[in-house]
C-alpha cells in the first residue's frame, strides 16, 4: 500500500515537473505565420479546370509529376473519351512517374497513366492499373455532365 502511494506521488511530481519545464517558446505570431505559409502553399497547388462554361478547382499532389504538369500550365487540351468513365490526352513528351495501383478510382481524380497520358476520371470504379497521382478535383459534382459523352476541350490553368 505504501509502495502504491509512493508511486502515485512520484508520478504526480514527474507530471508537474514536465509541465513546468515545457520548453516550447513558440509565440502566437510564429504559429500564425506557419499557418499562413501552409495556406499559401495550398493556394499555389490549386488549379482551375474549365470545361465549357463550368469551372472546377483541383488540388495538385506534392510530387515531381504534378510540379512538372503545373509548369506546363496554361493548357487547352482536346481530351478523348475512354470507357465512358474518363477523358484522356497523350502528351508528346513524358513526365516523371511514380506509379502505384490506387485500387479505387474516384470521380475527379487526375492521374498520369504510363509517362505521357493525362487522365481525368468522371466516374468511380475499381481498377487494376497503375497510375501516378497528379491531383483531385475538390468538388466533382457536375463533372460528368460538363464533360459529356464525347471528346471535349478542357482548359487547365493556375488559380488566379
102: nearest Cα among 81, 140, 133:
133
Per-residue model confidence as pLDDT tens digits over 104-128? 999 999 999 999 999 999 999 999 9
Instruction: Specify the pLDDT at position 142.
Output: 96
Can you give the residue ranges of every domain in the chain?
47-158
Average pLDDT, the chain: 83
The single-letter DSSP state of residue 95 is -
Those residues whose C-beta lies under 8 Å from the C-beta of residue 9, and which sit 6 or more positions away, are none
- C-alpha grid cell, residue 160: 488566379
DSSP characters over 2-67? HHHHHHHHHHHHHHHHHHHT------HHHHHHHHHHHHHHHHHTEEEEEETTEEEEEEEPSSHHHH
Q: What percent of the chain has pLDDT over 90?
A: 71
Residue 154 forms beta bridges with which residues? 77
Instruction: Specify the pLDDT at position 160.
Output: 76
Residue 64 has pLDDT above 90, yes or no: yes
Calculate mean pLDDT across residues 60-79: 97
Residue 153 has pLDDT above 50, yes or no: yes
Q: Decide if 71 contacts 44 (C-beta within 8 A).
A: no
What is the Cα 82 distance to its own chain's centre?
A: 23
79: nearest Cα among 136, 157, 156:
156
Query: Is the pLDDT higher at 29 or at 62?
Result: 62
Q: Decide if 73 contacts 48 (C-beta within 8 A).
A: no
66: nearest Cα among 95, 43, 86:
95
Instruction: Specify the pLDDT at position 148.
Output: 94
- Please state, in angstroms and rounded to a whole number, the distance separating the CA atoms of residues 129 and 140: 22
121: nearest Cα among 144, 141, 101:
144
- Specify the CATH class of 47-158 in words: mainly beta
Q: What percent of the chain has pLDDT over 70?
A: 72
Amino acid at each position: 500500500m505504501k509502495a502504491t502511494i509512493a508511486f502515485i506521488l512520484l508520478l504526480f511530481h514527474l507530471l508537474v515537473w514536465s509541465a513546468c519545464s515545457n520548453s516550447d517558446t513558440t509565440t502566437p505570431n510564429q504559429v500564425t505565420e506557419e499557418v499562413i505559409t501552409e495556406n499559401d502553399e495550398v493556394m499555389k497547388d490549386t488549379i482551375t479546370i474549365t470545361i465549357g462554361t463550368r469551372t472546377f478547382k483541383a488540388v495538385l499532389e506534392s510530387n515531381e509529376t504534378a510540379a512538372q504538369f503545373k509548369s506546363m500550365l496554361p493548357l487547352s487540351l482536346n481530351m478523348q473519351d475512354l470507357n465512358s468513365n474518363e477523358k484522356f490526352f497523350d502528351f508528346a513528351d513524358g513526365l516523371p512517374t511514380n506509379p502505384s495501383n490506387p485500387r479505387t478510382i474516384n470521380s475527379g481524380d487526375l492521374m498520369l497513366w504510363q509517362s505521357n497520358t493525362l487522365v481525368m476520371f468522371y466516374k468511380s470504379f475499381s481498377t487494376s492499373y497503375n497510375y501516378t497521382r497528379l491531383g483531385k478535383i475538390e468538388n466533382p459534382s457536375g463533372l460528368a455532365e460538363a464533360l459529356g459523352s464525347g471528346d471535349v476541350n478542357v482548359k487547365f490553368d493556375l488559380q488566379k
